[in-house]
Amino acid sequence: MTAFSVLKHKTFTLFVIARFLATIALQIQGVAVGWQIYQQTGSTLNLGLIGLAQFLPFALLILIAGYVADQRNRSGIVLTCFFIELIGGGLLLFFAQRGGGTVWPIIGVMVLFGVARAFMMPASQAILMDLVPRDYLAQAVALNSSLFHIAVICAPPVGGFLYLWGATTVYTVVAGLLGFAVVLMLPVRLRTKTVINKREPISWHGVLEGLRFVFSKQTVLGALSLDLLAVLFGGVTALLPAYATDILHIDSLGLGFLRGAPALGAALTGIVLGFVPISRRVGAWMFTGVFIFGFSTVLFGLSTNFYLSLTALFFVGIGDMVSVYIRHILVQLETPDAIRGRVSAVNSVFIGASNELGEFESGMSAAFLGLVPAVVMGGCMTLVVTFICLFTFPIP
């Protein structure tokens, strides 16, 4: 069995290519929307609103979405989410062609993407068992993850390059890629079925079971809380368009490289951890990862040199990947099989809160404190949170 033997399963191949194209589209869009809004308004608060618009529907729906993914055809859910994202891409293209300086239509489209992401995350994670036999699952997960990281690393510079020709060009490519994803997913929807052992009506008791478990386990709660608070305070992704324009004085292509640098650091760290896994003193490693994340954020905030900023963001990705790796291990080891899906949904809430809500916090802080003070203070707060959690939660 070779590394690519899993590709003989056609429905998996179609799904993984569709997800790859959709991920490229969303990464390109992320660069374009931030750059477009900041060039139009010069407001860091508006950059923060992009994150808030995606976070609110995600936070409200993700627990229900995890439950739905266990009770309905997952390929149908994924197809529907791709179609919703295609509509969103088409709307962004329409607004770009129409012109105008208002950002609220774009913010509204971000809400639509937040809804799609809420249902996409649990369904796309669970669908692999529907597409390949159990013996091929490890290969499927590895290939799916590898393509995701390739897209996250390579797509942002592509998005910045495309924006040199304007927003219309970027969103045309985004809509086209999402359209291909929908077409590729159609036969997957027709050929696969989700095996449901026992279909149950949606109830708040079932939906909230994962949440109750997390709050009953100090180790899991500590790992999730540390990661949540660190990225909430220290995340700088939302402010990269402002830094590119006002501090580093670079164009949209430079912004694309800034967006891709953390992903590159995270991907290379993931490869190293694949060969040299952390099996002892995981708590110490997790705190070290978050410390690297916070310190690198402070360094980025103080930098006025493009290459130093790239290096700092690269190490931000390294620290973040170590933290994510440890958190994933702790959650998997502590969680019973019967509620693993619902705990994963809670994990997704923490991830979404730290990313999108962190973007809103960054935008708000920069609007009131200034760009550089907001980033530096956020990195310092991450370091403070690290030391507080070190003495609060019993992470082994």
Mean pLDDT of the 196-210 span: 59
Query: Are 111 and 40 members of one domain?
Result: yes
- Backbone phi, then psi, for 304, in 5-degree steps? -120, 10
- The answer to whether 185 touches 131, Cβ cutoff 8 Å, is no
Same domain for 387 and 313:
yes
How high is the pLDDT of residue 260?
92
- Does 40 reside within a domain? yes
Q: 270 lies in a domain? A: yes
Return the CATH number at 117: 1.20.1250.20
What is the reported pTM? 0.85
Tally of CB atoms within 10 A around 332: 13
Alpha helix (H) ranges present in 250-305?
252-275, 282-302
Q: Which tokens is 3 given? A: 């590394």
> Over the stretch 160-179, which tens digit does the pLDDT of each residue have?
999 999 999 999 999 999 99
- pLDDT at position 373, please? 94
Into how many domains does the chain fold?
2
Q: Domain check: are 162 and 306 in the same one?
A: no
Do 249 and 108 fall within a single domain? Answer: no
pLDDT for res 171: 97
Same-domain check for residues 259 and 324: yes
Q: What is the pLDDT of residues 121-143, one digit of tens each?
A: 878 877 877 788 877 776 777 77
Same domain, residue pair 141 and 220: no
Determine the average pLDDT of the residues in 66-87. 88
pLDDT at 86: 97
Measured over the CA atoms of residue 342, residue 344, residue 346 and residue 349, the dihedral's sign is negative
Query: Binning pLDDT at 50, 70 and 90, where does residue 353 land?
Result: low
For 72, phi then psi, to 5°, come to -130, 170
Is the dihedral angle over the CA atoms 226, 227, 231, 234 positive or is it negative?
positive
Containing structural domain, residue 306: 206-396
57 and 127 in a single domain? The answer is: yes
Between 327 and 265, residue with greater pLDDT: 265
Domain for residue 200, yes or no? no
Which of 256, 249, 253, 269 has its CA nearest to residue 324?
A: 269
pLDDT of 279 > 70? The answer is no
Kindly state whether residues 217 and 332 are assigned to the same domain. Answer: yes
Is 199 inside a domain boundary? Answer: no
Q: How confident is the model at residue 204 (pLDDT cuts 50, 70, 90)?
A: low
Please report the pLDDT score of residue 241 as a whole number: 95
Of the residues 161, 192, 223, the one at which a domain ends: 192
Residue 91's pLDDT is what? Answer: 96
Query: What pLDDT is stored for residue 190 in this prediction?
Result: 59
